[in-house]
Each structure stands twice: as structure tokens, then as C-alpha cells.
Amino acid sequence: MSRSTTSIAFLGPLGTYSHQAALSFAEKLGHPDAELVACASFDEVFDAVDRSRTIYGVVAKENSLEGPVTSTLDNFAFRSSSVILAEEVFDIHHSLLISPDAEPGGIKTIASHPQGIAQCRRYLTERYPGRGTQVTASTAESARLAASDPTVAGIANPLAAELYGCKVVDSSIEDNLGNQTAFALIGRLGTAPDLESSTYKTTVALFMRTDRAGTLNMILSEFAYADINLSMVQSRPLKQQLGDYMFFIEFEKKDTDPAAQTALACLRLKLREVKVLGSYPVL
């Protein structure tokens, strides 16, 4: 069998939720054997795509509990020429993992990424009161640690349990069962795959000429006049001086929709730059 010509960068190590998302995108692209390249940060994922080391990348875009992922937004606005090619929303379900030779009664330390520990606080308080916690760089790293130490339990997903040889003590231990993360498939312009969906989104970055009163109201009014529903509005500092901001806007239409084209054309007349970050299917 020939090696796949498709490559996807993701936030590693193996067993992260980003890895899980990359596997799902690979399936939907029709390349389940795609080369998956683990990266140390979302910055590195963007660099892999921008420098053509991989064809695609997968980055977390927004979490239902934590909100937009600012490092992803900043890459789109200030560093990268990559665009969003598709989006998929994943339910985030944490599991408590231990070594195959360990027993729950022997757990002395709970290890995970800070968000993993925070999102399972109620479960840990009720089931494992008084246990110490250990912060790891990723949920997957906590699974690797648990596999090698019978006194440590990790909080990660079932994929990490499988990859690192852990056994699952409890599943879906998160306090909020509505925890979801939207992951974006990114790529360079002209690399959009043939993916169809009944739902499409467009994400734009808006840069003002000057910081003055009423700018955000003007922006929102253009979309209101065009009868376009916004699914996300987020401000980010321009990283130049205190008080200078730009805006991210997301709406549920293709950028080729006549109403969207009208709104964007009006904004281009009034703003310094309107940067379309992608018009893409939600899978």
C-alpha cells in the first residue's frame, strides 16, 4: 500500500483531544491513513501549514466552557496566512485512568492538564477526597504518567487510555456534561477539500482605522441590516499599545451569500482591513 499523500499537524502528544480531532478529520477527508504530525503548540501547527511541512493542521477554535482559544485567534490575525477549511464540534468526555496493575484504592495523586482537573473537580472531591494533584502539560501526558505509576491516576480520554495501556476506572467524569470544543481544519488558500455540509460558517477579522466611539456598534449594524445572525464576536488587542483592539466576527452563512457580500463590502469601505479567515462547512 502506498503512503498517504495527506498530512495533518495537530497539538500533541498522541492521545490528546486534538489528536482525536485530527483522526476524525482524516476520516472525513477520505485519508484515514494520513500522516499525523504531533506539534508542541498551536503556533507550531500553524507554522507547519504555512511552511508547507503539512497540508493541513488541526487547532482548537472555541470551548463551550472556556470560550474562544486566544492563541488560535492571534495566529489567524497576526501571524499566519492559513485559513479555516472546516469545523467539527467534539464532546469532551474525561475518564479516570490508572495502570493496568493498579487499584482505585491505591490512588494517591490525580494528574492532568489544569483544565482537566478543574473540569472534574466535583467528581474528585466526592470520590477521591484529600488526594493530591499534579499538573501535566496535556491530558495525554497524564495517561502516560498513570501507566507507569500505580499510585497516580490520570484524567484523559479513552483514546489516551488505549494508546498508553491504561485501564478506565470511570468514564464521563466531567462536572459539566455539555463540555464541547470546536476544532478547525486549517490549510493554505487553494487547498480546500471537497467537504459538504448543511451548515456553513464564515469567520472574519476586522481591523479599525482608528479607535473611536461607536465602531463596534457600526460593525454590528451592518450585519443586522443584512439580517445576518452572528455566532461569535470577540475582541483582541493589537499588541501595539494599550486600548488598541480588533474584532473577530463569525456568522452562519457562506461569504458568497449576497447578504454577506453586501455586509462585507460596506465594512471594507469603513474599516482598515476586512480579513476573511475562512468560509467553511461545519461537519
Identify the pLDDT of residue 221. 94
Inform me whether the pLDDT recorded for 212 exceeds 80: no
Domain at 130, CATH number:
3.40.190.10
Q: Looking at the structure, tell me whether residues 11 and 87 fall in a common domain.
A: yes
Q: Is residue 244 part of a domain?
A: yes
Secondary structure of residue 7 in the 3-state scheme: strand
Dist CA 9 CA 5 (whole Å): 13
pLDDT digits (tens, 9 = 90+) for 153-181: 999 999 999 999 999 999 999 999 889 99
For the purposes of burial, counting CB atoms within 10 Å of the CB of 136, is it exposed (0-12), middle (13-18) or buried (19 or more)?
Answer: buried
Stronger pLDDT, 39 or 65, i.e. the higher one: 39
pLDDT at position 243 is: 57
Q: Judge if 85 and 183 occupy the same domain.
A: yes
Place 4 in a pLDDT band, splitting at 50, 70 and 90: low
- Are 159 and 262 found together in one domain? no
Report the 10 Å Cβ neighbour count for 125. 12
For position 147, what pLDDT does the model report?
Answer: 96
At what angle are helices 258-270 and 215-225 packed, to 10 degrees? 160
Residue 80 has pLDDT above 90, yes or no: yes
DSSP 30: T
Residues 183 and 80 in one domain: yes
Number of domains in the chain: 3
Residue 213 has pLDDT above 80, yes or no: no
Domain with 154, as residue range(s), is: 95-170
Q: Report residue 50 CA to chain centroid gap.
A: 18
- The continuous run of DSSP H or E covering 123 comes out as helix 121-127
pLDDT tens for each residue of 215-260: 889 999 999 999 999 999 998 887 666 657 889 999 999 999 999 9
Q: Residue 231: inside a domain, yes or no?
A: yes
Res 43: pLDDT: 95
Same domain, 86 and 183: yes
Instruction: Answer whether residue 211 shows pLDDT above 70.
Output: no
Domain end: 144, 162, 187, which one? Answer: 187
Same domain, 110 and 53: no
What is residue 211's DSSP assignment?
-
236 with 134, same domain: the answer is no
Taking the C-alpha atoms of residue 160 and residue 44, their distance in angstroms, rounded to an integer, is: 22
| Distance from C-alpha of 18 to C-alpha of 169, rounded to nearest angstrom | 23
**What is the model's pTM?**
0.90
> Same domain, yes or no, for 140 and 107?
yes
Q: 3-state DSSP call for residue 139?
A: helix
Q: Is 2 a member of any domain? A: no
CA 272 to chain centre: 28
pLDDT given at position 2:
41
User: Which triple of cell numbers denotes residue 215?
Assistant: 465602531
- State yes or no: pLDDT of 186 exceeds 90: yes
Residue 1: inside a domain: no
Residue 276 has pLDDT above 60, yes or no: yes
Q: Kindly give, in sequence order, each residue whose CB lies less than 8 Å from that of residue 194, ignoring residues fewer than 6 positions away.
A: none
Q: For 7-56, how does the pLDDT look when each residue is reduced to its tens digit (9 = 90+)?
A: 999 999 999 999 999 999 999 999 999 999 999 999 999 999 999 999 99
The CATH number for 245's domain is 3.30.70.260
The reply to whether 50 falls in a domain is yes
Q: Tell me, what's the pLDDT at 107?
A: 96
Cell 489567524 belongs to residue: 76
- Do 20 and 136 belong to one domain? no
| C-alpha cell read off for 236 | 483582541
Residue 1 is predicted with a pLDDT of 34
Q: Is residue 194 part of a domain?
A: no
